[in-house]
Amino acid sequence: MFNAQSSIFNAQRSPTCQRRVSGNKLKYLFILSLVILSLCQGVQAQDTLAQRFLNPPASAKPWVFWYWMQAAVSKEGITADLEAMKEAGIGGAYLMPIKDTANPPYIQPASRQLSPEWWDKVHYALQEARRLGLQISIHVSDGFALAGGPWITPELSMQKIVWSQLPVTGNRLFNDTLPLPPANENYYRDIVVYAFPEPGGEEQSSCSELPVVTTSKPGADARFLAIKTSRESFRSDEPCWIQYAFSKPFTCRTIIVHTGGNNYQAQRLLVEVSDNGRDFRSIGRLQPPRHGWQDTDADITHTIATTTARYFRFIYDKAGSEPGAEDLDAAKWKPTLKLNGIELSSAPRIYQYEGKSGEVWRISPRTTTAQLPDSLCVPLDKLVNITAHMNAAGKLVWKVPSGKWIILRMGHTSTGHTNATGGGGKGLECDKFNPVAIKKQFDNWYGETLRRAGDSLAEVIKVLHVDSWECGSQNWSPVFREAFKRKRGYDPLAYLPAMAGIPLQSAETSERFLYDIRNTIAELVNDSFYVTLSRLAHRHGFGSTAPHTISPTICSTPFQARISMVRTLSRPKALPSCAPTGMNTPPCSSPCRTAIMHWASTGWCTMCLCTIPGWAEGPA
């Protein structure tokens, strides 16, 4: 039982206890005052927060895209738009003129981009924005995609690798002009000329050994499919087959499907072969690569295990088609087979090299040794650099050794892509790897806007904006070779034929070189293009913005080291001794920090395309 006589309540009899009680009272009063003060501050904070919601600071206000469509802009319209933005609590606008003048113009006089009328409207818009306390962002070019203009010459435009090849017989002096590789914008520059022994024996092609082409589609004539220059189109909504019948056994190692555009169904044909035209055996189904919406810059080369037969049958059946995904745009629509041609060749090629070389954005599994054994790869010590034997006009004088050889002339040309959503300021897209070209683009569009605005209005312009990447990919530039050597530690010229799909030394060596190409492209897009623009903007006292990842259009690694689904991968085999010392090991040799995993149970890494053990169950 509680004994009150011995408790604290008898404290009046103890001076020590009295002091303890007084101290406790002071402590309680202090704590109570803190609670009251905190409550008062909380009420005040709530009032301040409510006020900030009602009257948000400029940094918290939303911005809008402000499109000036087809030169149809007036001062009355500018004022009306900006006043409406102000009334709605908008903080600023991303000004982007879109497309060229309509025919006939929607407004007279039209204000075509770069014309005196247009600059007058831009100046007026900045004045009105200042009057209303609004801010303006100017896009990096005319339109919303991406960074080009009439001041970008072919030399300063986005570049890509191109080539021509010529088979020659040895033991003679070759003295002739080499075929010019395909060129855009009347611009081409040589990089290197190589010669190497023809791998796999004398090359056969369905373009030269024309087969008899038939189809099961009623009433259809498919003969044009074997003619490379044909522009006719074969189409079928229902299951059917197309057959190539050769007069003698034909050895096939690659199948190139020409579509003239995206067509998922054309890249998943079932392939059967026969020696007599009656008994067919399957050699598998073509596998379409993962790809983005802008996928029309290159064909798709399917590498198969060496197959010799007289009859090749390509069977279309939409059963089993993927229903569509973000990176298989064409598969979303009605399944239909559309193609312009099917080309068979005995030439060994790297599996779906067009995406691996960075010419377009695609994701494909690595080439296997079953598809491409070492015996079909060009040994590095057999690759002869004969560039010094060709003059500026392309004439080559060279003593060809014995045997059958391939002469490969490689160079670069403009991709031909433009800022297609622009109007009066439309032109070739600037080279995304070359700071000189990037600065020229900045100076002639954004910089010109600042000059015409003057100091009094330049303060209204707060942001340089870079919007949608819709200009395809690029895999070369006058600065690319030196950048590659600096970043990767070896000279890409020693392996450049792999960018034309020609396998060097082994499938693994070729794949690793092409991985280094893609990784360099991704780094240059960031370090040269975006960083250069950001620095130019900051030099003028402005911020800079750019949207989402640029995949699926060009190689990029936007979420480096930030993907929770990335797993530690098994270490692959070491590079063969023939590989250069500096050749980079793909990220799969250690925790894969530079890749976004394609997690739709594909089983491979999107950057290095390595097999991921145990990935079938999906991402972690």
- Residue carrying the six token digits 């075929």: 179
Alpha-carbon distances of 342 from 214, 261, 351, rounded to whole Å: 13, 14, 16
17 pLDDT band (50/70/90 cuts)?
A: very low
Tokens of 210: 């024309």
Tell me what pLDDT residue 588 has: 36
DSSP 557: -
Mean pLDDT of the chain: 85
Tell me what pLDDT residue 121 has: 97
Is the Cβ–Cβ distance between 415 and 297 less than 8 Å?
yes
| More reliable by pLDDT, 610 or 169 | 169
Peptide bond into 289 cis (omega under 30): no
573 pLDDT band (50/70/90 cuts)?
A: very low
46 pLDDT band (50/70/90 cuts)?
A: low
39 pLDDT band (50/70/90 cuts)?
A: low
Instruction: Centre a 10 Å sphere on the Cβ of residue 150 and count the other Cβ atoms it contains.
Output: 15
Of 501, 121, 559, the C-alpha closest to 348 is 501
Question: Among 307-316, 324-333, 339-348, 581-590, which is the least confidently predicted range?
Answer: 581-590
Is the Cβ–Cβ distance between 273 and 281 less than 8 Å?
yes
246: enclosing H helix or E strand: strand 240-258
Question: Measured between alpha carbons, how far is 175 from 397 in angstroms, rounded to an integer?
Answer: 4
Tell me what pLDDT residue 43 has: 57
Asked whether the predicted pLDDT for residue 373 surpasses 70, the reply is: yes
Strands of 269-402 (E only): list them.
270-274, 280-285, 290-291, 300-316, 337-339, 341-345, 362-363, 384-385, 395-400
The model carries a pTM of: 0.84
Alpha-carbon distances of 403 from 155, 265, 377, 449, 497, rounded to whole Å: 39, 41, 17, 62, 20
Tokens of 234: 């074969």
The model's pLDDT over 318-365, given as tens digits with 9 standing for 90+, comes to 988 887 776 666 666 778 999 999 999 999 999 999 999 999 999 999
The one-letter code for the residue type at 66 is: W
Tell me what pLDDT residue 335 has: 86
The model's pLDDT over 189-223, given as tens digits with 9 standing for 90+, comes to 999 999 999 998 778 999 999 999 999 999 999 99
Collapsed DSSP state (helix, strand, coil) of residue 528: helix
Asked whether the predicted pLDDT for residue 292 surpasses 60, the reply is: yes
Tell me what pLDDT residue 487 has: 97
Question: Measured between alpha carbons, how far is 615 from 620 in angstroms, rounded to an integer?
Answer: 9
The model's pLDDT over 375-400, given as tens digits with 9 standing for 90+, comes to 999 999 999 999 999 999 999 999 99
Reduced DSSP (H G I as helix, E B as strand, rest coil) percent helix, strand, coil of the chain, to 5: 30, 25, 45
Tell me what pLDDT residue 25 has: 66
Of 511, 201, 504, 166, the C-alpha closest to 347 is 201
Tell me what pLDDT residue 330 has: 64
Tokens of 263: 């067509």
Distance between first and last Cα of the chain: 62
Asked whether the predicted pLDDT for residue 5 surpasses 50, the reply is: no
Identify the CATH class of 203-349.
mainly beta
Peptide bond into 104 cis (omega under 30): yes
Tell me what pLDDT residue 238 has: 95
The model's pLDDT over 511-560, given as tens digits with 9 standing for 90+, comes to 999 999 999 999 999 999 999 999 999 999 989 998 756 767 888 764 43
The model's pLDDT over 111-126, given as tens digits with 9 standing for 90+, comes to 999 999 999 999 999 9
Is the Cβ–Cβ distance between 228 and 247 less than 8 Å?
no
The one-letter code for the residue type at 111 is: S
Burial of 525 (0-12, 13-18, 19+ CB in 10 A): buried
Asked whether the predicted pLDDT for residue 368 surpasses 70, the reply is: yes
